[in-house]
């Protein structure tokens, strides 16, 4: 009889803790943890299209909570996390998901040069291009590896590690399995040498389960002869990477290769009995080339990056779509913006066809004045422009009393590709912005933001303003508004109207606890975290959150 992950956790919990406490009744370890919860109260508003989801129609309430507990003693570590989702819209932004249980447990033990781990594990190889087990709660991503791993330290500079298991899927696991290994080291060339190397190699094997392969085979039977192929169960991805440091120069390079492997290409044309359609399974090898070079000297810092990706969709189950079943992580090259309007159009990394370049230059003129310019360009391998951005930033500090950050962003965004909106025009924007901070006293400060986005596509032009009053160490009061000053898109009633999206909020900090309460109206848009993005519908309602560590 197969033991479920939940029953396995209970068994290990009882056996591990009881035996451990018996052996060390007089010696105490360290317990730490964290708690996070988000609560949403949905208020229907058809004027901004905040309608037609279960929460707006009848549920009204939705939320999530996570409780982490960790126990450490000597070379032993034990951790557990309880997850709860109640009418949550994290998994499916237009739907509702409810579930609760043990979201993660793990056990780690060090035995001289050998580290052993079991449970739900987070790890990566290189930059994550061939494997990354990670969590991003805001996008409902938890790609932990449910299995075992070991790491052997040959010496202080070299280590070999390996793992085997299955990928987490909410409170279950996907049926395919993963195996992988990596060798990493560090080289210096004599005492006082300015040259160091940190090389590494890694490999991952993904085996498709019989039931998942049957789904793929059934789909291929409906294809015309020109598009059919014999799918392979196993896909192997390999990588070689290295960080070279010499004086003020740092160069990271990585080259990846994936053998012939079945994947779904949403942009490929499929032959039909009459005409063609878009989207089909393919089986081709893939590759990634990535380089990042940085240079710092005195007042200047420069970073240049490039990435070329071809046919590198790598999932535990090729039948999955969007953010489901991702084995790897593709590093984004565009700037990760933080202001509301400069971050409104963010590209997601493309796994089928992409070539990207980025350049970031920082220059500090003196202790009061600094300047930053960032340029990025992303195309597909056929030459179609996907994304372009020019971002400038000027920071001026007037002693300790006040400072201002200001600049201009211009970008081009392919909405048809990034948001799967057929025949949508390329979005062109021009966005000036400023961020002003004034300190009345060391504990009282006012921060004011202002941004204007000019565009004739999508929703049209926007104006955004924010005022935030902080009274350290306890209180933060905020008020903001996003105003569609030149609207282009109709609401649920077919009207094109100017709409204000306000936010009013208060944050209270008490020691290691943080409470926030906000009334929010939020426009439909793309939400991104580290280059992983998804389209979310409009939101109207009240949000409450609690974060604490102990």
Q: For residue 501, list its beta bridge partners.
A: 482
Task: Answer yes or no: is pLDDT of 192 > 90.
Answer: no
Query: Prior bond to 164 cis, omega within 30?
Result: no
- State the Cα angle at 270 between 266 and 276, rounded to 5°: 115
- The answer for 247, left when phi > 0, alpha when psi is -120 to 50, beta otherwise, is left
% residues pLDDT > 90 (the chain): 83
Element (H, E) at 387: strand 385-398
pLDDT in the model for residue 26: 47
What tokens appear for 113 in the block?
A: 């040069």
Type and span of the H or E element at 181: strand 177-184
Three-class secondary structure of residue 32 per DSSP: strand
pLDDT tens-digit map of 218-258: 999 999 998 999 999 999 999 999 999 999 999 999 999 99
CA diameter of the chain: 78
β-pair partners for 519: 504, 542
Average pLDDT rounded to a whole number, residues 397-412: 96
**Nearest to 376, CA basis, from 349, 352, 394, 338:** 349
Tell me which DSSP letter residue 326 carries.
Answer: B
Residues 6 or more apart in contact with residue 512 via CB below 8 angstroms: 548, 549, 550
Reduced DSSP (H G I as helix, E B as strand, rest coil) percent helix, strand, coil of the chain, to 5:
10, 60, 30
Return the sign of the alpha-carbon dihedral for residues 295, 340, 61, 490: negative
Q: What does the radius of gyration of the chain's CA atoms come to, in whole angstroms?
A: 25
Any idea what DSSP says for residue 550? -
CA distances from 226 to 213, 222, 259, 311 (A): 20, 12, 21, 19
Predicted pLDDT of residue 13? 52
- Name the 3-class secondary structure at 150: strand
Rounded Cα–Cα distance for residues 349 and 309 (Å): 9
Q: How confident is the model at residue 14 (pLDDT cuts 50, 70, 90)?
A: very low
Could you tell me where the beta strands, DSSP code E, fall in 385-538? 385-398, 402-413, 427-439, 444-453, 460-471, 475-487, 500-510, 513-522, 525-529, 532-536
Handedness of CA 261, 264, 266, 268 (dihedral sign): positive
141-142 vs 145-153, strand pairing mode: unpaired
Please give the Cα distance from 163 to 181 (Å, whole number): 6
Tokens for 310?
A: 């071809």
Which pair of structure tokens corresponds to residue 446?
């006012």
Which residue in 175, 171, 180, 179 sits closest to 213, CA to CA? Answer: 175
Q: Highest mean pLDDT: which of 256-265, 415-424, 488-497?
A: 256-265
DSSP tag of 226? G
pLDDT of the residue at 16: 53
Query: Which pLDDT score is estimated for 160?
Result: 98
Q: Is the pLDDT of residue 294 over 90?
A: yes
**Residue partners of 269: CB distance under 8 A and separation at least 6:** 276, 277, 278, 280
pLDDT of 30 reads 92
Which pLDDT value is given to residue 286?
Answer: 97
Is the pLDDT reported for residue 27 higher than 80?
no
Q: Using CA atoms, how far apart are residues 148 and 166, in angstroms rounded to an integer?
A: 10
Q: Is the pLDDT of residue 387 over 70?
A: yes
d(CA 323, CA 134): 12
pLDDT recorded at residue 47: 87
Q: Select from 319, 348, 222 the least CA-distant residue to 277.
A: 222
What was the pLDDT predicted at 277? 85
Question: Mean pLDDT score of the chain, rounded to an integer?
Answer: 92
Q: What is the pTM of this model?
A: 0.90
For strands 61-73 and 132-133, give the pairing: unpaired
Q: Which residues contact 69 (CB under 8 A, 6 or more apart)?
A: 31, 32, 33, 79, 80, 81
Cα(514)–Cα(496) distance, integer angstroms: 39
Angle at CA of residue 88, ends 86 and 92, nearest 5° = 145
Distance CA 431, CA 453 (A): 4
Cα separation of 364 and 487, whole Å? 39
């Amino acid at each position: 009889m197969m033991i479920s992950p939940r029953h396995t956790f209970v068994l290990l919990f009882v056996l591990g803790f009881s035996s451990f406490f018996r052996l060390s009744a007089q010696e105490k370890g360290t317990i730490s943890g964290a708690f996070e919860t988000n609560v949403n109260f949905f208020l229907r508003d058809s004027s901004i299209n905040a309608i037609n989801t279960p929460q707006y129609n009848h549920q009204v309430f939705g939320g999530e909570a996570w409780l982490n507990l960790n126990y450490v003693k000597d070379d032993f570590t034990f951790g557990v996390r309880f997850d709860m989702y109640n009418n949550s819209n994290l998994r499916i932004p237009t739907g509702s998901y409810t579930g609760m249980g043990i979201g993660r447990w793990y056990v780690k033990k060090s035995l001289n040069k050998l580290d052993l781990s079991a449970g739900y594990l987070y790890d990566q190889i290189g930059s994550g291009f061939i494997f990354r087990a990670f969590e991003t709660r805001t996008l409902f991503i938890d790609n932990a590896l449910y299995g075992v791993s070991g790491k052997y330290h040959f010496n202080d500079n070299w280590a070999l590690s390996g793992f085997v298991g299955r990928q987490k899927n909410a409170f279950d696991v996907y049926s395919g399995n993963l195996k992988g290994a990596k060798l990493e080291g560090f080289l210096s060339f004599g005492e006082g040498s300015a040259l160091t190397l940190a090389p590494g190699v890694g490999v991952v094997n993904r085996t498709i389960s019989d039931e998942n392969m049957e789904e793929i085979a059934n789909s291929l039977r409906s294809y015309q002869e020109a598009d059919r192929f014999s799918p392979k169960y196993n896909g192997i991805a390999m990588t070689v990477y290295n960080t070279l440091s010499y004086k003020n120069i740092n160069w990271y390079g990585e080259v990846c290769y994936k053998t012939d492997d079945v994947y779904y290409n949403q942009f490929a044309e499929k032959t039909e009995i009459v005409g063609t359609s878009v989207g089909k399974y393919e089986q081709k090898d893939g590759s990634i080339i990535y380089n990042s070079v940085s240079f710092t000297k005195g007042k200047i810092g420069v970073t240049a990056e490039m990435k070329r990706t071809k046919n590198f969709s790598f999932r535990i189950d090729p039948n999955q779509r969007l953010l489901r079943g991702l084995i790897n992580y593709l590093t984004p090259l565009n700037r990760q913006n933080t202001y509301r309007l400069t971050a409104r159009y963010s590209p997601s990394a493309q796994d089928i066809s992409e070539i990207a370049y980025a350049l970031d230059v920082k220059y500090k003129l003196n202790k009061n004045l600094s300047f930053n310019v960032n340029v990025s360009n992303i195309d597909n391998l056929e030459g179609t422009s996907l994304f372009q951005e020019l971002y400038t930033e000027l920071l001026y500090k007037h002693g300790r009393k006040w400072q201002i950050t200001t600049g201009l962003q211009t970008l081009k965004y392919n909405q048809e590709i990034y948001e799967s909106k057929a025949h949508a025009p390329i979005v062109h924007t021009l966005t000036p912005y400023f961020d002003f901070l004034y300190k009345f006293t060391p504990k009282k400060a006012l921060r004011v933001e202002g941004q204007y986005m000019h565009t004739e596509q999508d929703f049209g032009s926007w104006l955004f303003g924010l005022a935030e009053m902080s009274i350290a160490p306890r209180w933060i009061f905020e008020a903001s508004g996003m105003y569609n000053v030149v609207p282009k898109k109709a609401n649920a009633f077919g009207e094109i109207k100017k709409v204000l999206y306000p936010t009013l909020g208060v944050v209270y900090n008490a020691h290691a606890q943080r409470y926030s309460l906000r009334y929010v109206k939020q426009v439909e848009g793309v939400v991104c975290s580290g280059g992983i993005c998804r389209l979310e519908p409009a939101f109207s309602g009240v949000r409450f959150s609690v974060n604490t560590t102990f």
